[in-house]
Amino acid sequence: MGRFKVTGDDMRTLKKLFILTTALFVADIPSVMSGSLEFSAEAVVSLNQQDVRKTQLFVGEHAVRRDMLVNGYRMTEIVFPEQGLALLINDHTRSFQERTFPGVSKETSESPCGQIKDSVCEKTGEETIDGIKTEKWQIVSDENNRKTRTLHWIDKDRKLAIREFFPDGSVAELKMIKKEKVNSRDVEKWERTLSRPDGQTIKSYQWYDTKLKIAVKEELPNGFYRELVNIKVGKQPPDLFEPPVGYIKEHAHKQSRY
């Protein structure tokens, strides 16, 4: 099995493939909401050993809130996936903005069709791989005026991509290595191997929380990782998902009180 040094372009491609084709991931809001439990946590993302970013995360029944520091000021994003609505709240200016996007239902978020835009996506059957029941999906996209086709076998229970075929001949396989505890939570450790036609491989890892039904930790090559820590399961206060009283709603040409 060959090894190779991962370049910047390789990393960008790997991250895109891994994020788009893994149906559940901590940073994907529809995916985070696909579980049945409400919770709060701190999301930690490291692009390398020196660049570490932290975000407070609150997952409610119908919305997700993320608090972050930008230039020393707190910014808050509240997303309502099913409504297709997001609020961006600026504590420094005591104001907020609204933006809309195509709504994503829980059913749509549990299939690859809800993860990739501008493509033709269809379920073509069901197969069992290493004892795991999967749904087989085909996605056809336009890239540089050329049709490309990918195949994805999605775990029916966990919604993880167990096997994938890409246009360049690369194949990705996801296998569970063991069960263990991470931050006092029961998780399954999975290894993802991306094999290229020339025999070169890239390995990455994710830890799937069996209660939250999402991946709570992920490691990619070159020091990139992300993780949920300080997870606290419980009903989230409704006012977390509303703009603070008195904040101004910003419009393109005028302002009004919320």
Q: What is the 3-state secondary structure (H, E, C) of 80-108?
A: ECCCCEEEEEECCCCEEEEEECCCCCHHH
Predicted confidence at residue 116, as pLDDT, reads 62
Supply 32's token pair. 């985070």
For residues 215-238, average pLDDT: 91
Q: What does the pLDDT look like over 92-109, one tens digit per residue?
A: 999 999 998 877 665 555
Confirm if 216 and 227 have CB atoms less than 8 A apart.
Answer: yes
Q: Long-range pairs for 208-213 at CB < 8 Å and ≥24 separation?
A: 208/24, 208/158, 208/160, 209/185, 210/186, 211/37, 211/185, 211/186, 212/35, 212/37, 212/39, 212/185, 213/24, 213/34, 213/35, 213/36, 213/158, 213/159
Consecutive H or E run containing 229 = strand 225-233
Taking the C-alpha atoms of residue 66 and residue 242, their distance in angstroms, rounded to an integer, is 12
Predicted confidence at residue 222, as pLDDT, reads 79
Q: What does the pLDDT look like over 57-78, one tens digit per residue?
A: 999 988 999 999 888 888 999 9
Predicted confidence at residue 19, as pLDDT, reads 31
Confirm if 74 and 68 have CB atoms less than 8 A apart.
Answer: yes
Assign 205 a pLDDT band (cuts: 50, 70, 90).
very high
